[in-house]
Amino acid sequence: MTFSRVAIQYPRLAHKLAQLPDGELKSSVEGVVNRALSATGVQVANRDPREVERLVWSLDDAVWALQERAEQDPSAQLPYLQAFRRARAASGLLDLLEGRYDTAVYEAMHALGASEDEVIELLGSQP
């Protein structure tokens, strides 16, 4: 599997992901996505892709509304960033559930706001 989307911004992470054995890849990506969900406070009771897709659309709608406000009012920047990260975490989960590991990690990276080194370390700590 190639990680071309991740490689654009995070080449060392893409290389690390590409080196994982197939049996470890899904669980490693799932660990990163779960960390993003936890860090952003996104609770997902039902991981059915259709339900997660509805959640993603709902969170994306909230981000768009906040973005417009944040462009006019600097005090809205923090709520916008928090909403953006929640939406990216949920999007990463949908990508994971649909087998798009490259974009799942990419979205989770944006949700976490973590450095490439932190996520590489997280991958190394996965069981």
- The pLDDT tens digits for 95-126 are 999 999 999 999 999 999 988 899 998 887 66
Residue in the block written with tokens 């991740």: 6
Q: Within a 10 A sphere around the Cβ of 62, how many other Cβ atoms?
A: 17
Task: Quote helix, strand, coil % in the chain, to nearest 5.
Answer: 80, 0, 20
- The pLDDT tens digits for 43-62 are 999 999 999 999 999 999 99
- The pLDDT tens digits for 15-36 are 999 999 878 999 999 999 999 9
pTM for this model (two decimals): 0.91
